[in-house]
Amino acid sequence: MAINTLNPATGEKLRRYREHTPRQCELAVARAQKAFTDWRRTSMAHRSARLRALARELHRHRAEYAALATAEMGKPVTQALAEVEKSALGCNFYAEHGAAYLADAHPAGAPAHRYVTYQPLGVLLAIMPWNFPFWQIYRIAAPALMAGNTVLLKHAANVTGCALLIEKSFQRAGFPRGVFQSLVLGPAPASALVQHPGIAAVTFTGSTATGQKIATLAGTTMKKCVFELGGSDPYLVLADADLALAAEMCAAARLYNNGQSCVAAKRLIVVESVRAKFETLLVRRLAARCSGDPRAATTDLGPLSRADLRDRLHAQVKASVRRGAKLLLGGYVPAGPGFYYPPTALTGVRPGMPAYDEEVFGPVAAVISAKNEADAIRLANDTPYGLGAAVFTRDRERGERIAREQLDCGNAFVNEFVRSHPALPFGGVKQSGHGRELGAWGLREFVNTKTVSVS
């Protein structure tokens, strides 16, 4: 079997890759297991040095990495460069703090001769999506490797070139053979690998439906898993909000990465008394974004990553309009090559419409009217997802109370849009998954937290 990658800006073929055979996958697992026996014995200082070398590799060749992400999935090149730099930041973060996070602990109240140690689990299988083809990988691999594990990557097929370049980056940084490997596989969820006895744990980022299938497979062998799944993030705009700020932040969050982010501003829940003014400001800011060739430094919005994703997005918009939503902007498939979709805004969005009920993965903002603050919070939590949320209000204490206590999500922001940081845990609740990435929390997901007693 073969994988063909396409340029989403033109629809033209980029490269053809031959898939790894089951035998090749089996050998890769064996290499990862063998590498683990040696890698786990290396010192924290040695692992840290390799991660710092990896960060230097990413920074030094950032233009090469960014150009490939732009070519394979359509990310505007300025955002691709920022993603590569963030990946380097994550590697340096774990190089600096990983040893302290993994130091033996003596919990308060525990007997003096007992302590807690963190030991690596083994081979981690990372099944990753295409939307952040570098950051998604390094934010998983850096803590896993710092902890002494080895990693097998099953990346999304449409970013196969990125997957192979990532493997090369570890080689360039001096990591031993087998510590990090990329498997070239099609869109299937790698069922055999998930259940392989040589795989100790699984991390998956992607759709909730696929996550549920992987969870079922992993459950049969009791493998440790972390899932970062879908999201339909609510952004609450209260009556006292700075509407210019809210409109700018919502537009930026909705269109970032061509609207293809789990923590994009998908449902804009606006108190009715300020809805009309907010919509005017929002449409103005959405329309001002520059759409075009993602290789251009002036481009804010590139194409969607695949034709089928654009088809699904447009179907969700049309179905929402048929059920009573009103188009304020966009909502059409443009003529010409590539998988472009314009900035789009819907108002009058209600339950029963795809723009309300489903994850909308593209540059489509859904405005939902709320009667007041309490109603806005109710609507925000009226979703099976719980990844991120934001609230806009001039009263910072009010915003913090809502974010801290009343929004059902893993990441709640006040007067800014949701994004991850290497030092802070990232993940969701409900059908947005479980477990956490990043920070000390992500580092300790794939270790054996072991109690040791010496008397």
- 77-101 and 135-146 helices, crossing angle to 10°: 10
Q: For residue 254, give the H/E element and its range.
A: helix 243-255
Beta partners for residue 236, in sequence order: 269, 391
Q: Is the dihedral of CA 45, 51, 56, 59 positive or negative?
A: negative
- Amino acid sitting at position 297: A
Q: Which helix (H) or strand (E) element contains residue 206?
A: none
Task: Quote the CA–CA distance of 439 and 455 in Å, as a whole number.
Answer: 33
Q: Which residue type occupies 202?
A: V
Task: Report the amino acid identity of residue 44.
Answer: M
Task: State the DSSP H helix or E strand holding residue 18, giving kind and residue range, or none if neither.
Answer: strand 13-18
Give the span between the Cα atoms of 364 and 341, in whole angstroms: 9
359 is catalytic: no
CA–CA dist 315, 321 (Å, integer): 10
Tell me whether residue 396 is exposed, middle or buried, using C-beta atoms within 10 angstroms of its C-beta: 0 to 12, 13 to 18, 19 or more: exposed
Catalytic-role residue among 25, 91, 250, 262: 262
231 touches 266 (CB < 8 A): yes
CA-to-CA dists, residue 366 to 224, 235, 328, 347, 393, angstroms:
36, 10, 10, 6, 19
* Residue of 57, 228, 358, 359 marked active site: 228
409 is catalytic: no
Q: Which amino acid is at 351?
A: P
Residue type, 61: H
352-383 core/surface letters (b: 16 or more CB in 10 A; e: else): ebbbbbbbbbbbbbbbbbbeebeebbebbebb
φ and ψ at 347, to 5 degrees? -125, 170
The catalytic site residues sit at 228, 262
